């Protein structure tokens, strides 16, 4: 059973477990979409995605008008997406903004930081804040300003700080240290404002338990 956080007749917020696809081709593989539809005994519509290995807060629409409105809000960057990430190493600055040009190589399934704008290249930016350090690793809170493929992973890896467990970008094997911890939207075209958060669980996050509890208090402050 998926963990349902909150919702109403238009939206449903839940936890995506790491390893589950956000959405898959019909009949090919189990995904958040199929699991949620079965659990709710009704249709839901996806409006954003998380990488397969990444867990955390996701929102799905329960009606087509809500899906259209929320998809537009996401496209206009009105939905604020925040993540917790565990980095190998430590950022030079305790907080800052990363800006890059990213090229997505679909054939290789990877994104790369490049030096100039050309076909297939998009601007990417995020801000971060250092929350804690332990065992040569850093816990950072990240706010996305753009939503590029593998953005968080490649932007930090390109600076010598790959995410723990991110084998694709040099972080080694195991569970990836990335979690969608909070979604916030001011309200848009009939959709009520929301702010939904959830802390990660599992042994990977234990060294940072106190810092996470301070940043992501128990309970939900949505709607």
Residues known to be catalytic: 51
**The total number of residues written for the chain in this structure:** 223
Q: Please name the residues in contact with 220: beta carbons below 8 A apart, sequence gap of 6 or more.
A: 5, 6, 196, 197, 198
3-state secondary structure 58-89: EEEECCHHHHHHHHHHHHCCCCEEEEEEEEEC
Q: Give CA–CA dist 94/102, Å, rounded.
A: 24
Q: Give CA–CA dist 197/26, Å, rounded.
A: 30
Q: Where are the beta strands (DSSP E) in the chain?
A: 4-7, 11-16, 45-46, 55-61, 80-88, 95-105, 110-114, 121-134, 137-144, 178-185, 194-197
> Residue 160, SS3?
coil
């Amino acid at each position: 059973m998926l963990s349902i956080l909150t919702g109403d007749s238009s939206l449903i917020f839940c936890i995506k477990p790491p390893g589950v696809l956000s959405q898959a081709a019909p009949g090919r593989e189990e995904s958040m979409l199929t699991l949620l539809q079965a659990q709710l005994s009704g249709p839901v519509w996806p409006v954003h995605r998380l990488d397969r290995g990444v867990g955390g807060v996701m929102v799905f629409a329960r009606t087509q008008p809500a899906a259209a409105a929320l998809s537009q809000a996401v496209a206009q960057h009105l939905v604020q997406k925040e993540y917790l990430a565990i980095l190998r190493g430590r950022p030079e600055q305790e907080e800052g903004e990363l800006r890059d040009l990213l090229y997505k190589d679909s054939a290789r399934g990877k994104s790369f930081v490049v030096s100039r704008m050309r076909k297939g290249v998009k601007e990417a930016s995020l801000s971060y804040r250092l929350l804690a350090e332990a065992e040569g690793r850093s816990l950072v809170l990240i706010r996305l300003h753009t939503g590029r493929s593998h953005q968080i992973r490649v932007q930090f890896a390109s600076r010598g700080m790959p995410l723990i467990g991110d084998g694709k970008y040099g972080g080694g094997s195991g569970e990836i240290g990335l979690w969608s911890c909070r979604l916030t939207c001011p309200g848009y075209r009939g959709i009520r404002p929301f702010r939904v958060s959830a802390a990660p669980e599992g042994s990977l996050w234990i060294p940072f338990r106190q810092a996470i509890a301070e940043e992501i208090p128990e309970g939900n402050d949505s709607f």
